[in-house]
Amino acid sequence: MIPAPFLLYLGHSTDFIGIKTSRGLAAFRPDDCVGEFRHDDCPLTLGLPRMTIAQGAAAGAKTLVLGIANSGGTLGRDLVDDAVAGLGAGMHIAAGLHHRLRDEPQLAALAKAKGLQLFDVRDPPADLRVGTGYARAGHRLLTVGTDCSVGKMYATLALTQGLRRRGIVADFRATGQTGILIAGGGIPIDAVVADFISGGIEQLAPERNDDGWDLIEGQGSLFHPSFAGVSTGLLHGAQPEALVLCHDPARTHMRGIPGRALPDLEECLSANLHVARLTSPAVRAVGVCLNTSSLDADAARALCARFEDRLGLPCTDPMAFGVEPILDELLCLEPSARGTTASR
């Protein structure tokens, strides 16, 4: 476990989506976050107290979390310098980048000298197996997306919390760096050698016989040329009973690929169901989650209602309106008892 509380790092970031790890921790582990560190050229905030690194350590932060994501997961000079300052202030350092903290000689030497730890969250387990696709007991739900960074983790966490409120045993299975930091464990599936992706998910969400649910955090998109391979392995390894499609209606193109349009939602849902049927022939879609943070409440509700009518599935923004309609669909409650998102 990474020692809390945390000082959340924003650095020089100008991309709101790029600070998703720090943002996720602030949203789902607020009691473990003492503040945020950002340079003067960073226009973003998490709404936490702004602190220098020294102030964060003085406020009790035990770990500086480099909670940003950039293309390729690189550890630039500015990140190294700020991590050096964090170690100098007596804090551990955690990051979910592909570039490992321990591979930076200056950080490794300083951490050793000070008796502090470097936590590379994107390290997969060493004992992963190749997937088999054999049927296994248990209820599993997987979130999928029209693109990367459209809210799959938020939706999965919200669904997990919703099931627990209903008295149903439910476990969030993290597959990305942010989810792992929130949950305290998981498998960073995009860092797994391709042959072991499906097996890694079989191991993350093994057979269970307690009538509980494993809710598996999706990654990437079948329609994103950069990340479709990870999404495919997840669909096969999860062997999901249910899928929830996540979408950001404000997105104008696939993330990182200007000019490439997002897929049509019906096409995307159909493709995900088709791929999932290789290992879960009876898989079904149970809902759609939208990220409507760019819309006002009335417009968001109206958009959810339109997608609900169009797709014949409950549609909601999990953070703005909750996930009760999707849970009703998942648990096969009568539609009359479910209501519609637009009326909530």
Contact partners, residue 228, CB within 8 Å, separation at least 6 = 220, 221, 222
Specify the CATH number for the domain of residue 300: 3.40.50.300
Domain that holds residue 291: 139-343
* 252/238 Cα distance (integer angstroms): 29
Residues 161 and 71 in one domain: no
Domain boundary among 120, 150, 178: 120
Q: State which of 76, 93, 120 marks the end of a domain.
A: 120
**pLDDT tens digits, residue range 33-54?**
999 999 999 999 999 999 999 9
- Please give the average per-residue pLDDT across 180-193, as a whole number: 92
| Cα dihedral 322→296→253→152 (10° resolution) | -10
Q: Is 137 helix (H, G, I), strand (E, B) or coil?
A: coil
Q: How many CA atoms lie within 13 A of 240 on its CB side?
A: 29
Q: Are 240 and 231 in contact (CB under 8 A)?
A: no
Start-end of H helices in 91-184: 105-114, 152-165, 177-183
Domains in the chain, number = 2
285 shares a domain with 172: yes
For 49-76, what is each residue's pLDDT tens digit? 999 999 999 999 999 999 987 766 777 8
User: CA–CA separation, 22 vs 61, rounded Å?
Assistant: 14
For the chain, what percent of residues have pLDDT higher than 70? 96
pLDDT (0 to 100) of residue 333: 66
Q: Is 335's pLDDT higher than 50?
A: no
More confident residue, 333 or 116: 116
Q: Over the chain, what is the mean pLDDT?
A: 93
Q: Which 3 state secondary structure label does DSSP give 71?
A: coil
Residue 248: count other Cβ atoms within 10 Å of its Cβ: 21
Q: How far apart, in Å, do the first and last CA atoms of the chain sit?
A: 38
Residue 59 lies in a domain: yes
Q: 151 and 47, same structural domain?
A: no
Residues 306 and 187 in one domain: yes
| Centroid of chain to Cα 308 | 24
Per-residue model confidence (pLDDT) at position 97: 85
Q: Are residues 67 and 152 in the same domain?
A: no
Which of 120, 150, 184 is where one domain is finished?
A: 120
| 310 membership: H or E segment, kind and range | helix 297-311
Does residue 238 fall inside a structural domain?
A: yes
* pLDDT value at 344 more than 50: no
Q: Is residue 126 part of a domain?
A: no
Is 134 a member of any domain? no
Tokens of 8: 């959340």
* Average confidence (pLDDT) over 188-207: 95
pLDDT at 71: 65
- Tell me if 236 is assigned to some domain: yes
Tokens representing 343? 């009326």
- Per cent of the chain over pLDDT 90 is 85
Residue 264 has pLDDT above 50, yes or no: yes
Cα distance between residue 145 and residue 219, in whole Å: 8
Cis peptide before 5 (omega within 30 of 0): yes
3 state DSSP class of 134: coil
Residue 340 binned pLDDT confidence (cut-offs 50, 70, 90): very low
The residue with greater pLDDT, 344 or 250, is 250
pLDDT for 176 equals: 92
- For the whole model, what pTM was predicted? 0.89
User: Domain check: are 113 and 184 in the same one?
Assistant: no
Residue 336 pLDDT = 38
Classify residue 1: in a domain, yes or no.
Answer: no
Separation between Cα atoms, residue 224 and residue 218, nearest integer Å: 13
pLDDT reported for residue 77: 87
